[in-house]
Amino acid sequence: MNIFIISIFPEIFDSFVSTSLIKKAQEKKILKFNFINPRDFCKDKHQQVDDAIYWWWAGMLIKAKPIVDAVEHTIKKIKTTNFKILFPAPSKEIFNQKNAHSLSRLQNLIFVCWRYEGIDYRCEQYMKKKYKTKFQKISLGSFVTLWWEIPTMAMIEAVTRLIPWVIKESASRQNESYSIDHSMTNLEYPQYTRPEEVLWISVPEILLSWHSKKIQERKEKNTKTL
């Protein structure tokens, strides 16, 4: 999968892409990250990517044209229709595991990270009109962050962990909360590791019995339904 990230602060992702399973997935050539800075598409001397909001409202807005140019530049590089443009932003549509599964099947994802009060609305209008089936504005929930690189990272982790071989053990993708097998309505059962007793609380005896049928029954009984 190719992941394209449009951000005026791409350095925020340095640690994210260079650690743990995300790094290993790149080494295995399962994932490839590409960073595009909208400032590179600003024609003025100072490469100004933001400006004041009309009617003198508080805060600044990212200009529409640099973002549109950055997205169009990225799509030209992709040379395929197998892509999705994602705007992590306040939205009625809330990102969930079903979205993650759907996105994990694509070859190319384009994330647009905005700052300040957002992006000039004409950018969204343009995307909805030209890329109606490819554009998706989506939120992590009913809260606002200082910048949208963090929600982007969260979505990338949720999506990429579902790609085969990013996580070595396939069972880790199957036996989990929000499982497809449970119609995305389950929370995973409680799990334990060594030592057998911690803080005067012992591991349930059934888990020490090696009785596979009873252990499976316990798992099913303790899987919570949302």
Phi-psi region at 178: left, alpha or beta (left = phi > 0; alpha = psi -120 to 50) = left
| Domain 2-160 is found in CATH 3.40.1280.10 | yes
Burial 93-111 (b: 16+ CB within 10 A, else e): eebeeebbbebbeeebbbb
Confidence at residue 220, expressed as pLDDT on a 0 to 100 scale: 87
Q: For the beta carbon of residue 52, count every other beta carbon within 10 angstroms.
A: 11
Compute the CA torsion angle 121, 125, 127, 132 (nearest 10 deg).
140
Confidence at residue 139, expressed as pLDDT on a 0 to 100 scale: 96
Fold agreement (2-160, 177-225): no
Spatial distance between the Cα atoms of 122 and 128, rounded to a whole number of angstroms: 10
pLDDT in tens, the chain (226 residues): 999 999 999 999 999 999 999 999 999 999 999 999 999 999 888 899 999 999 877 889 999 999 999 999 999 999 899 999 999 999 999 999 999 999 999 999 999 998 888 899 999 999 999 999 999 999 999 998 888 899 999 999 999 999 999 998 765 556 688 877 777 788 889 999 999 999 999 999 999 998 999 999 998 898 888 7
pTM summary value: 0.91
| Domain 177-225 is found in CATH 1.10.1270.20 | yes
Spatial distance between the Cα atoms of 183 and 16, rounded to a whole number of angstroms: 30
Confidence at residue 195, expressed as pLDDT on a 0 to 100 scale: 96
Domain boundaries, the chain: 2-160, 177-225
Residue 36 near residue 73 (C-beta atoms within 8 A):
yes
Confidence at residue 187, expressed as pLDDT on a 0 to 100 scale: 84
Rg (CA), the chain: 22
Confidence at residue 115, expressed as pLDDT on a 0 to 100 scale: 81
Tokens of 138: 């989506």
Give residue 94's Cα distance to chain centre. 12
Confidence at residue 178, expressed as pLDDT on a 0 to 100 scale: 82
